[in-house]
Structure formats: C-alpha cells, structure tokens
Chain A
C-alpha cells in the first residue's frame, strides 16, 4: 500500500514549476483558464509556494533573534497566510457575486490563493537578501534596539512585505478585470477582499506573534498571552496612551 506522504511528494515532483512564471507575469488568459477547472495539483503548487516562499522569508526574519525563532517564524508566516485564505474563503466567495462578479466559491478561493502565492514567491526571492542583511547586523540584544539597526531591519521587512503584497494584489486586480470585464467591479471586489483579508490576517498575526522576537523575552512559538486581547484593542490602547500622555 503506498505511503500517503510518499504520494504527496511524488505529486509535487509532477507539478509544472513553469506555472510559477505564469503567476508572476500575471498571464491573465492562462490564470483565468486555471480557474475554470479545479485542479488539486495546481492548488498544491500554490500552497507549496506559500509554504516555501513565506517560510524561507520567515526563517530569514526570525534568524536574527535565534535559530529556534527562525524555525518558528518559518512555520508561522505561511500559517498566517493559509489560515487567512481558508478562514475568509466563505465570505470572500459570497461577497464577490454580491458585488457584481459572478465567481464560484472555488474560483474566488483560487484567485485569492493565487495572489498570496505571487506575494509568497516574491517573499521567497527576497529571503536570501533578508538573510544577508540579518547576517551583517549585530546580534539582537537590548542595546541593538536603541541603535539604527533595529528600525532599519524592521523597515526593510515592512518594505519587502508591502512590495510583495502590492504586487500580489495588482496581479489579482488584473485577473478580476479579465474575469468580470469591468474595472469598477474588479476594484470593488478587490477592496472588499483586501479589507476582509487584512482584518483577519492582522488578528492571526497577533495571535501567532512573535515573528522577529524581543531580545528580553524567551524564544517561544506562542506568547503566553497569545489569546489575550486582540490586534485592534492593542492599537486602540496605544492610541489612548498617546492622548493620555
């Protein structure tokens, strides 16, 4: 009887890796054709891109704190993306037709996953650069937090993630225009999907924190208070602190 794990890896080797180029170039005709039929192998390729791309980038990000943190972030970063895509699959699939774009659940799921796969591929490509940057930086310590290195690395991370996210969404927009035939409808659907994904994604990132890790706190997968409070409450409290001081 074949081993399921072996079957999974066999199927990965059968994947057409050239399809990554199609995704990155945003070849709308090909991508629209992919969405017409449900292909489990292609779905696996896209998830694999998310796991690989975001995982490598996460490892580079966490490596500055400690090797264990690199491993944890390599697991958590793709997890945030995967959970956001699956957690919002229902509402994304419902909102698209209501906003004028007649997509099925599978199609909307595929479209969102493809945009995250593009972003993850970009993140993966930037991971050696981020690793190099971290390797050149002084070790993460309470003193480092005072200098220019910490803000620099933080900003570099923000810039790379923003670039990857923007590119993924530009590709998604082009695909939605192709599918819906109207820029106005595509823009409406894209903004709503963005809002919904950002809303859940922020909270999942909050639960799965830390990603870089603070030098004065132990390296751990979850913080002890992972499920206490939420991202938006924290922003609100910070806002209150600013005005109270």
Chain B
C-alpha cells in the first residue's frame, strides 16, 4: 500500500517553543520580563525606574552603552545632593548656603570614589561575575536613590531647621534621614549584587560597613557642614565620634548658639 500521509515538513512537526520555566525558588534572570529591557532615555525615566523597576536599571547597566546611564545617575546625584545641601545650609545661613551643598555633594562623590575599588575587589572575591562598569553603575544607582530620597525628606528637614537652634538635634535629624536613604540605596546595591552569581554576601556586608564609616567620617573631615566656623574647612584632624561628642558637650554649655564646628 502506498503511504497516503506523507510526513509533514520538519518545521511543522516542531511544537511552538515553550518559554523556559525556572524551578521554584530560583531568582528570575535580569531581562526575563520584557519591561526590564526598555531603555532609560532620560532623567525622569531613570528616577521612575529606580523607584519602581530597579531591575530595569540593573539590566541596562549590563548593556553596551551603560556609560550614558551611569553619567546620568551620577549627575542627578550631584544635583539632588546640592539641593539637599541648600536645605542643610538654611540652618546657619550665610556662607553655609553655598558651602554646605558643595561639601555634601563633593563629600558624597569622594566617599563613593574612595570605596569603589574595595567594592569591586569584594564582589570579585565573592565570586561575582559583574564587570567594573556594572559595579560602578550599581554604586551610581545607590547614590541616585539615596539623594532622591533625601530630596523627599527635604521639606521636613527645612521645617525643622527653621524651628530649632539646636545643632545636635539638627545633626541627628540629618543623619537619620541620610541613614534611611542609605538603607534603601544599599538594598538596591544588594539586589544588583544578588543577580551577579555571587556565592557569598560576606564581602558585600563588609563593604557596607566600610562605606558607612567613610561617609560619616567625611562629614567630620569637611566640617562644619551644619554649623559655622572661622574657616570653611577644618584646621585639625578628628575622628567622627570625637567630633560628635564635642558638639554635644558644646551644646550643653551654650544651648542657643549655632556658631560651632
């Protein structure tokens, strides 16, 4: 008997491709969701993305031409920290209206720059496959998210700065806002890190401690940021705990003065 049903072409035999199903508990890969693949063309989209779709930022940082996004995030961080710095400067007014923004923006950038090499080393030691540019991008994302949140806190900080004369109080408030903003920034960094095939988080956790210490010491190295002094930059060296202790004891001796380091 002749075969009446010849075999169909090979392409017709194959079923449509089934999208890969990840086992339960395995994290999604960056870019699995099509919305994560959308480009980030401008600053507004970058702000939206880092707040609502951080994985989109992480995915874009792995693509060629991530330098543009990194530059955008860094520029935005500088602008936001300058704006928050003006709010900080309103506490003392005068020279601090321009000195505080400059010190905050430069302090933040210098801290990030100082900590970048150690971040790269720690991520490599943890088995991460992230490239330096991606690590730099994640750090830029941390700074951007942190400074955007500081802008969110700025109206509250301004109201308090207009209604108190206590330097330690305002210092504590700004530190609290900075700390909250940094926690969210670090969450972004950790999320990016977890997508880089790292075996352990110990290195990143160590780096977080280093970064926090560098940033708080920077506030002392660039003092006065909140109060006033005879010189714009300090003449002596101090550890941040000693500086904060000195501020607190000075407050107890002269409760209504803003003129101190």
Contact = CB atoms under 8 A, between A and B. Distances in A.
Do A and B associate with each other? yes
Interface of A: 87-88, 90-91, 93-95, 97-98, 102, 196, 199-200, 203-204, 206-207, 226-230, 232-233
Given A88-B156, A230-B160, 4 more contacts: A90-B155, A93-B152, A94-B51, A200-B159
Given A87-B156, A88-B155, A98-B51, A233 B149 contact: no
A114 B156 CA distance: 21
Interface in B151-194: 151-156, 159-160, 162-166, 169, 184, 187
A229 B164 contact: yes
A139 B160 CA distance: 35
Specify which of A93, A102, A232 lies most central, judged by the most chain B CB atoms within 10 Å of its CB: A232
B237 interface: no
Nearest to B187: A98
Q: Which 3 residue pairs are nearest across A and B when measured between Cβ atoms? A: A91-B152, A90-B152, A87-B155
B162 A227 contact: yes
A232 B169 CA distance: 9
A203 B153 CA distance: 14
B170 to A, nearest CB: 9
B184 A230 contact: no
B225 interface: no
Contacts of A232: 169
B52 A102 contact: yes
A199 B51 CA distance: 23
A93 B152 CA distance: 9
A203 B159 contact: yes
Contacts of B151: 90
A229 to B, nearest CB: 6
B90 to A, nearest CB: 13
A95 B156 CA distance: 15
A87 B166 CA distance: 22
Contacts of A228: 163-165
Contact of A233 (B52, B155, B169): B169
A207 B160 CA distance: 10
Which secondary structure dominates chain A's binding surface? helix
27 contacts: A87-B159, A88-B156, A90-B151, A90-B154, A90-B155, A93-B152, A94-B149, A95-B149, A95-B152, A97-B51, A97-B52, A98-B51, A98-B184, A98-B187, A200-B156, A203-B156, A203-B160, A203-B163, A204-B159, A207-B163, A227-B162, A228-B165, A229-B164, A229-B166, A230-B163, A230-B164, A230-B169
Size class of the contact patch on chain B:
20 to 34
Contacts of A233: 164, 166, 169
A227 B161 CA distance: 9
Interface of B: 51-52, 148-149, 151-156, 159-160, 162-166, 169, 184, 187
Contact of A206 (B52, B152, B163, B187): B163
A207 B163 CA distance: 8
B160 to A, nearest CB: 6
Contacts of B52: 97, 102
Given A97-B51, A102-B52, A233-B166, A207 B159 contact: yes
Specify which of B152, B153, B165, B166 lies most central, judged by the most chain A CB atoms within 10 Å of its CB: B152
Contacts of A227: 162-163
Contacts of B184: 98
A223 to B, nearest CB: 12
Nearest to A92: B152
A88 to B, nearest CB: 7
Nearest to A103: B52
B248 to A, nearest CB: 13
Contacts of A204: 159
B149 to A, nearest CB: 6
A204 B156 CA distance: 10
A109 to B, nearest CB: 13
A88 B157 CA distance: 11
Contacts of A200: 155-156, 159
A93 B166 CA distance: 30
Nearest to B153: A91
